[in-house]
């Protein structure tokens, strides 16, 4: 779909009174968008990636207490962590978007696609802890009431990740997947500081950020850096509504925020998008806000950042 048409549709829905606008936009996403597709594998893979980063630093998901920022509509990252033995997963969302119907559809998918789910987890699926949890998943009765507690998930929605209410030093992993790019910079600092407060001495901060212009996910005519052309007021008019909001922070800004929250970065895995880089090198003009940054910084599409509290 042409990105400007999508922007108009989102802006119209965002102007409706809040519950109605959310219901209308949800139905549109269900019929024509990503919520109509049940395939939890990308988020299961994200949970597995979090496990890999934790284990690379000598930590484990088994028995851990985890905070997830920004649940969204589904619960597949927490389910992946639960399958690997997580003891308790607190997941926070400022907006209570979580939909039991979608979670139950995902669980049905997981249960009936054992081979492809096991393929996602690879050798990890052979571990006793995974096998035990898998058996539990196959045996238990899950309905619209227990769908979170069955997976040791405490859903805080509405809940602000900047104010978790959890004790200091009580969390092993602080994680998110494609969330930080949707949160205003002024709110990111308190979220990260809260993460640093609740993380235990050995705790890890493991976050995945998608820096791409999300309109480009459905419009191949534009690149992932298309939105960098606009000044902030223009961009806010086009994509600043509550369904699309993106802060347009670049990878260097995230680094500054993480360090500013008193965390020490131990892993920084970035993917630069070639098509975006080419567009920038060929003279795509970006707003003054982005002109001091290198083309590689502006064209960074994704990042996994792993950090720990500064000792
Ligand atoms: C893109 S969505 C979630 C994506 C989801 N993690 C996934 O993998 O599909 C970002 C979420 O962050 C939530 N959010 C925004 N500010 C927040 C805050 N301060 N605390 C917790 N969640 C927040 C939004 O309500 C939204 O549901």
Does the pLDDT at position 243 exceed 90?
A: no
Omega before residue 85 within 30° of 0, cis: no
In short, whether 129's Cβ falls inside 6 Å of ligand 1 is no
Dump pLDDT digits (tens) for 110-144: 999 999 999 999 999 999 999 999 999 999 999 99
Helices and strands (H and E) in the chain: how many: 13, 7
Q: Report the residue among 21, 45, 48, 70 best suited for mutation to probe ligand 1: largest number of ligand atoms under 8 A from its CB.
A: 70
- Is the distance from the beta carbon of residue 94 to the nearest atom of ligand 1 less than 6 Å? yes
CATH code at 40-211+249-309: 3.40.50.150
What is the pLDDT, as a whole number, of residue 6? 86
Q: How far is the CA of 1 from the centre of ligand 1 (A)?
A: 24
* 95 Cβ closer than 6 Å to some ligand 1 atom: yes
pLDDT tens-digit profile of 133-178?
Answer: 999 999 999 999 999 999 999 999 999 999 999 999 999 999 999 9
What is the average pLDDT score of the chain?
A: 95
Position 311 scores a pLDDT of 66
Which is nearest to 100 in space by CA: 147, 140, 142, 138?
A: 147
Closest atom of ligand 1 relative to the 92 alpha carbon: 21
Find out whether 293 and 248 touch, Cβ atoms under 8 Å.
no
Query: Is any ligand 1 atom within 6 A of the Cβ of residue 109?
Result: no
Q: Which residues pair with 305 in a beta bridge?
A: 207, 268
């Amino acid at each position: 779909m042409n990105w400007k048409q999508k922007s108009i549709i989102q802006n119209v829905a965002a102007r409706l009174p809040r519950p109605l606008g959310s219901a209308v936009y949800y139905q549109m996403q269900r019929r024509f968008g990503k919520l109509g597709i049940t395939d939890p594998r990308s988020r299961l893979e994200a949970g597995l990636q979090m496990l890999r980063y934790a284990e690379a630093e000598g930590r484990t998901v088994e028995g851990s207490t985890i905070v997830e920022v920004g649940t969204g509509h589904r619960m597949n990252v927490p389910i992946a962590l639960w399958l690997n033995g997580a003891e308790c997963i607190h997941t926070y969302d400022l907006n209570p978007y979580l939909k039991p119907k979608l979670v139950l559809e995902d669980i049905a998918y997981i249960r009936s696609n054992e081979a492809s789910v096991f393929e996602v987890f690879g050798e990890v699926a052979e571990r006793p802890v995974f096998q035990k949890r898998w058996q539990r998943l196959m045996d238990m009765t899950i309905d619209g009431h227990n769908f979170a507690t069955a997976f040791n998930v405490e859903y805080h929605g509405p809940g602000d990740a900047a104010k978790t209410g959890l004790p200091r030093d009580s969390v092993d992993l602080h994680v998110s997947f494609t969330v930080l790019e949707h949160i205003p910079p002024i709110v990111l600092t308190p979220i990260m500081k809260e993460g640093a407060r609740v993380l235990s001495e050995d705790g890890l901060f493991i976050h995945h950020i998608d820096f791409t212009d999300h309109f480009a996910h459905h419009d191949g005519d534009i690149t992932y850096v298309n939105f960098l052309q606009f000044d902030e007021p223009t961009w806010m008019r086009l994509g600043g509504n509550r369904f699309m909001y993106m802060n347009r922070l670049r990878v260097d800004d995230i680094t500054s925020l993480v360090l500013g929250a008193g965390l020490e970065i131990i892993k920084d895995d970035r993917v630069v998008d070639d098509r975006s880089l080419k567009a920038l090198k060929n003279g795509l003009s970006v707003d003054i806000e982005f002109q001091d940054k290198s083309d590689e910084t502006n064209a960074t599409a994704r990042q996994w950042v792993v950090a720990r509290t500064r000792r």
